[in-house]
Structure 1
Amino acid sequence: MRKKWIALLAMTGMLTFLTGCMDVNKEITSESTGFWNEYIVYPLSQTLQFFADSTNGSYGLAIIIVTIIIRLILLPLNVKQLKSSKAMQDIQPQLQELRQKYSSKDAQTQQKLQQETMQLFQKNGVNPLAGCLPIIVQMPVLIGFYHAIMRTETIQSHSFLWMELGSPDPFLAILTAATTFLQQKLMMAGNTAAQNPQMQMMLYVMPLMIGTFAFFFPSALAVYWIVGNLVMILQTLFIRKPMMKEQTGGASK
């Protein structure tokens, strides 16, 4: 659980640093220099431009298409995350036995508990960092999207449906928080570890944090996050379904 909080703080720090300390008012072009500009922001800007040109100039549709492509690329990580989550759920009784066995709080006992816990994780293919990995991997993309949107003049001035892509939208911010909550809730479904008070707190803190960012960031970024959440929800439903059938089949035997 501590690792998830570290990942959350790292994500917040990265967002604050890159959005606050980098020049988001300078237009991104092929002449922009620096690793971040050349390999992250400019390619994303050009990709959005390509799909906008392919959809009669709709940058909103371009953002949706690129988001779906990115989520499909990250699919193997999401599958690994779900499998690790299920494996973690399956070993909860054994983890509880270890905690009871090494209930003493002295340093030597706690060290033994950590050693046997890690052995149990390795034996059952559980990766405690699997839940954080998709978040960490997509952060450069999220921040790159922010810069591509802010530094591509045509996106800044473009509208999609009722929204101005370059300006914040309170309704989208609420929708961002809601879909983030739903996606996390679905990920935790059936996981006994999710009853942990810290996990429950994480369930509410993450959507609140993302929603707060969305209140101040351009609508285009909120569209990216909302579409990404919806794709993740669908992926989770399709991936978990065979897992649940397998679990039900095993229980019936």
Structure 2
Amino acid sequence: MKKNTKRLLFSGLALSMLVLLSGCVNVKNGQPTGTVWNVLGVPMANLITFFAKNQGLGFGVAIILVTIIVRLIILPLGLYQSYKASYQAEKMNYLKPIFEPINERIRNATTQEEKMAAQTELMQAQREAGVSMFGGMGCLPLLIQMPFFSAIFVATRYTAGVSEATFLGMDLGKQNLILVLIIAALYYVQSWLSLQAAPEAQRSQMKTMTYTMPLVMLFMSISLPASVALYWFVGGIFSIIQQLITTYIMKPRLRQRVEEEYKKNPPRVSTPKRRKDVTQKPKNTNQAAISQQHKKRNAGKQKKRKK
């Protein structure tokens, strides 16, 4: 899959996050319903109420604590997904000298047939080198995480008492611009860290993505109450922690692992035989005209002989 396509898919995923979060839990007449809410959302809402009222910590601290618990539970899944994606990215970077000539032929193809042939060659080369065309980003870890995100998202908004509570002078039932700007800044830091993990050749192409997630979070948070924004604030801190682990711990080890793997077992990428051009080329116009004249002359000579 091309890098531009991956970026487009990532942007679409980020922009549709709010729809996915609210889609896993149905809200009817101001009350959440559905299997995800009953299984995950209700225990989270009860835990928020327990910390806020029974322990006397208030709803702001309760939301922070429950968000931390939920994020700690799903953190291994997020790290696993980052591990798989980073492993494939390091393979792609190591094998770039092999793939780049094929990518160059794809970019410079003048016909659809040439482009398709080069794309087929690239897919075959990636398969033989043990590289996933989708970057190793499986959907299963994300699908497992989504119900948790959806449940905590709805719990922070619809738990009884949250909308009337305050935290550090913030009305949790209303929007708070300062908290929204802090969230945008956190996700900018997370995007900047992910940019540092990318190879030098790709950084210039990925710079626009540095601003995509912060802007998405800005527009999503600005229309929601501070209770939800508080959940995203904690989530932003966890995203930074996960990105730090990926960038400075996971990727260097994976880079070393990939180098050792390919040194022991060098990649054997076979180049498929190109099909010969069997199309009949048109004859030179001058030659065709000359042969036509010869035919006319021969025909004239034959008529004279008959007479």
TM-score if structure 2 supplies the norm length? Answer: 0.65
Deviation string 1:183-202 (CA, Å, 9 cap, x unpaired) is 122122131264353x3322
Specify the alignment match of 1:44 in structure 2. 44
The answer for unaligned runs of 5 or more in structure 2 is 261-307
Runs of 4+ in 1 over 6 A off after TM superposition: 131-136, 248-251
| Contact map agreement 1:180 1:229 (CA 8 A) in 2 | yes
Specify the alignment match of 2:76 in structure 1. 75
| Contact map agreement 1:71 1:232 (CA 8 A) in 2 | no
What SS is found at the alignment partner of 2:218? Answer: helix
User: How many angstroms apart in 2 are the aligned matches of 1:213 and 1:80?
Assistant: 24
| Contact map agreement 2:83 2:250 (CA 8 A) in 1 | no
User: How many angstroms apart in 2 are the aligned matches of 1:8 and 1:245?
Assistant: 26
Residue range with higher mean Cα deviation, 57-66 or 119-128: 119-128
Q: Across the two proteins, how many residue pairs are aligned to each other?
A: 247
Query: Superposed, which structure 2 residues align to 1:88-107 within 5 Å?
Result: 88-92=89-93, 93=96, 94-102=98-106, 103-107=108-112
Deviation string 1:68-122 (CA, Å, 9 cap, x unpaired) is 2332223233343245235314423243232024431533333344444445267
Kindly report the root-mean-square deviation, in angstroms, between the aligned alpha carbons of the 2 structures: 3.6
Please tell me the residue identity of whatever aligns with 2:88: A
User: How many angstroms apart in 1 are the aligned matches of 2:213 and 2:143?
Assistant: 14
Please tell me the residue identity of whatever aligns with 2:89: M
* Superposition deviation, residue 8 in structure 1: 3.8
* Superposition deviation, residue 208 in structure 1: 0.4
Larger-Rg structure: 2
Deviation string 1:30-62 (CA, Å, 9 cap, x unpaired) is xxx533442343233223223435642322222
| Contact map agreement 2:81 2:141 (CA 8 A) in 1 | no
Counterparts in 2 of 1:244 and 1:2: CA distance versus 1, 3 Å = closer
Query: Superposed, which structure 2 residues align to 1:1-253 within 5 Å?
Result: 1-9=4-12, 12-13=15-16, 15-16=18-19, 23=27, 26-27=30-31, 33-53=33-53, 55-72=55-72, 73-85=74-86, 87-92=88-93, 93=96, 94-102=98-106, 103-119=108-124, 120=126, 123-124=130-131, 127-128=134-135, 130=137, 138-192=145-199, 194-195=202-203, 197=205, 199-243=206-250, 245-246=252-253, 247=255
Please tell me the residue identity of whatever aligns with 1:95: F
Residue range with higher mean Cα deviation, 177-186 or 87-96: 87-96
The answer for unaligned runs of 5 or more in structure 1 is none
1 or 2, which has the higher helix percentage? 1
User: How many angstroms apart in 1 are the aligned matches of 2:119 and 2:53?
Assistant: 55
TM-score if structure 1 supplies the norm length? Answer: 0.76
Please tell me the residue identity of whatever aligns with 1:151: Y
